[in-house]
A and B are shown apart, each in its own frame.
Chain A
Amino acid sequence: MASNVITVNRDTRPGYMPIIYGMYLTLRNMFETLFVKGRSATIEYPEKKRNISGRYRGVHLLTAREDGTPKCVACYMCATVCPAECIYIESGERPEKKIEKYPTRFEIDLLRCVYCGFCVDACPEEAILMSRENDLVGESRAELIIDRENLMHRGKLAEVGRGYHPTDHDVRRPVRIAALERLKSEHGIVPQMPAARR
């Protein structure tokens, strides 16, 4: 089958300039890190921390209602959408008739999790969110399978703040609007919402 063949010219020799330029960059960074204040390429972690995005996808958390019970209704949407299959839920009956279901067990295996944030997207109740916590450590694998209570009371949440949430459009909106306008003006395309599939 014929295909597009690109012929690459490998005859030209680059000479010594690239090597000299590379050495210059390396040495410049080395001396700046050693002697020029504020130009260091590294930071003194964990005393200092890098600024992370407001939409960072860190360790999950479960939100609570006013009475302290989880907002989660155990609909299994997150477990269904999870590509890593790291969410395990068991459900039980809540005495309240309007919201009859709640999770008796809700566990996330953080070692399996790929932090894609699909669970947050899928949640119809805003029950599962992500924090910006990114430095969780454990001494065993079992320790990093975190349960419902742990997810509801993330100690470090106040410190690190909430992370990604699909309704946080503020971050994306200017970029997205610009992209849409460019599509319309340059290509005459007005994107439609995709039709729902079964």
Chain B
Amino acid sequence: MPKCTIDGQEIEVAPGTSVIQAAEQAGVRIPRFCYHDDLPVDGNCRMCMVDIEKFPKLQIACGTTVNEGMVIKTQVTSPKAKAAQKDTLEFLLVNHPIDCPVCDQAGECYLQDQYMDNGLHDSRVEIEEKINKRKVVDIGPIMLDAERCVVCSRCIRYEREVTKTNLLEFVNRGGSTQISTYNGGPITHEYAGNLVDVCPVGALLSKDFRFKMRVWFLKETDSVCPGCSTGCNMTIDHRDGEAYRFRPRRNVEVNKSWMCDPGRDLYKMIGPDRVTTAHRFGGAVAPASEIVHEVAAKLQAAGANSAFLASPRASNEDAFTFKKVAQAVGGRLDFRVGNPQDKVNVCKDEILQREDRHPNTQGLLDQGLGVTGVEALLADCKAGKVHVLVLQDGSMLNDPGVAEAAKGVPYVAVMATHQGTHLINAHAVIPVAMWAETDGTFTNFEQRVQRFKRAFDAPGEARPRWEVGLDLLERLGQPMNAASAGDVFIEMAVATPAYADFTHRSLGPLGKSLATANKAQASA
């Protein structure tokens, strides 16, 4: 473990750590363009110059490995390093169009940030003298503006190392260097959104987010992508109860800094076509409490002649209260519609996506929600043995098998997020919140329990599924001592030994892996 001194502060780092990483650990952010935590080091932007004792010249912090006894002075203590960084920035800005007012990157732009930190120079180049490059080039899901580019090659390295598609490359030389796709063709892979995040400036911008919102208005909430069983960590950027975009949140053990485009597009699901009021068969609106009471009464009457279908889209907390409700009346219980458990660990591509398009199949398996077997449950429904069927997700009715079976049940209660024709045959529709509107946890394919937080309120009367579950339990005469998702999680951890060590708080922002926790326990 080499020890080094950064700005007078002694720090011990892992072998092989670069100076830029060591400084980050010491709490000093060295300005950079081309260095990215999850991309190979290139060292071309020359922005991260630091002064290292016994080196005759300034060194780049990203390409220099920390050695025992190194004495490093960053821009904070070394005027020489600060001057070098300032001059590098001035060179990078020579041909920059300074069109921040129309640039979507404004507010999260490395050029802007580092100019305000370190630059503050007046331009020596008139705007008319600057070299003009291509602007507003449409390359599929991305808008390319070569004038804003600082030629850091992050996008090129991303294409080479992560997606292995090599769609971007430099063309021309010297001051006219710019990035381009082959013949200006589109980016075709499903990981284009990462190019936008990787780009430190406004050269690559998302066409979807283009001109929608200025980023400084957006609030960030830590969340987990519900798109598949990988469970990529992400941030919901939202304003006034509306999500504007999803961005990957770095978690080296799950998704690094990446996220797929289908996952990013899920923000569009949150707003429109939501169920905001509880209603009965035929769309007769009634207060949600009345409908829940009615469902509870029907369940009490049906007893063991009831059936429950949980959803692998629901969080662990949702699933636990649902299971409790099923146990309270002794009904049939399962969740494996379409057999997601077979696909939970099957990769869809070589990067992130998995075949199972539900976020929490593993969590439901861990909790043992697959009891009756879906086939048997649906067969009983068809045969008329089931008097009440409760579905945890309205979209399950899109499955032909479930829809067919539901026709044979005299009373179908559905917790639904989105409106649609599939809800026509439901006798009670309870509006519920989506994952962005409540706290909870998902367990991903490798049994990593990850927490997501509430970003904004659910529309109308919609409540989290776990809250509806608690409501039903209370009306069934078996109340659970819980007032929040965190409380439900504690109850769940008591009932599910694998989760016993965890609470919402102890999971932290990056989640914890059950597999490693259990392994540690076994060895101890």
Q: Enumerate chain A interface residues (CB-CB to B < 8 A).
A: 73-77, 80, 91-93, 97-101, 124-125, 196, 198
Contact = CB atoms under 8 A, between A and B. Distances in A.
A75 B102 contact: yes
B376 interface: no
Interface of B: 100-102, 106, 113, 116-117, 120, 135-136, 210-211, 214, 216-217
B117 A73 contact: no
B117 A124 contact: no
Given A75-B214, A196-B120, A198-B117, 8 more contacts: A73-B101, A73-B102, A74-B102, A76-B214, A80-B214, A97-B135, A100-B102, A101-B211
A75 B101 CA distance: 5
A122 to B, nearest CB: 11
B216 A80 contact: yes
B211 A93 contact: yes
From A75, A124, A125, residue with most partner B Cβ within 10 Å: A75
6 contacts: A76-B214, A76-B217, A80-B216, A91-B211, A100-B135, A101-B211
Contacts of A93: 210-211
Closest 8 CB pairs of A and B: A75-B101, A101-B102, A91-B211, A76-B214, A97-B135, A97-B136, A73-B101, A73-B102
Nearest to A72: B101
Nearest to A123: B101
B106, B116, B136: most-surrounded residue (chain A CB, <10 A): B136
Contacts of B116: 196, 198
B136 A100 contact: yes
A97 B417 CA distance: 41
Contacts of A80: 214, 216-217
A193 B359 CA distance: 54
Contacts of A77: 101
A91 B101 CA distance: 12
A73, A92, A100, A198 pick with most chain B CB within 10 angstroms: A100
Given A74-B211, A93-B210, A101-B211, A124 B101 contact: yes
The listed residue with most A CB atoms (<10 A of its CB), out of B113, B136, B211, is B211
Nearest to A89: B214
Contacts of B106: 75
A75 B100 CA distance: 8
A87 to B, nearest CB: 12
Contacts of B214: 75-76, 80
B520 to A, nearest CB: 42
Nearest to A96: B136
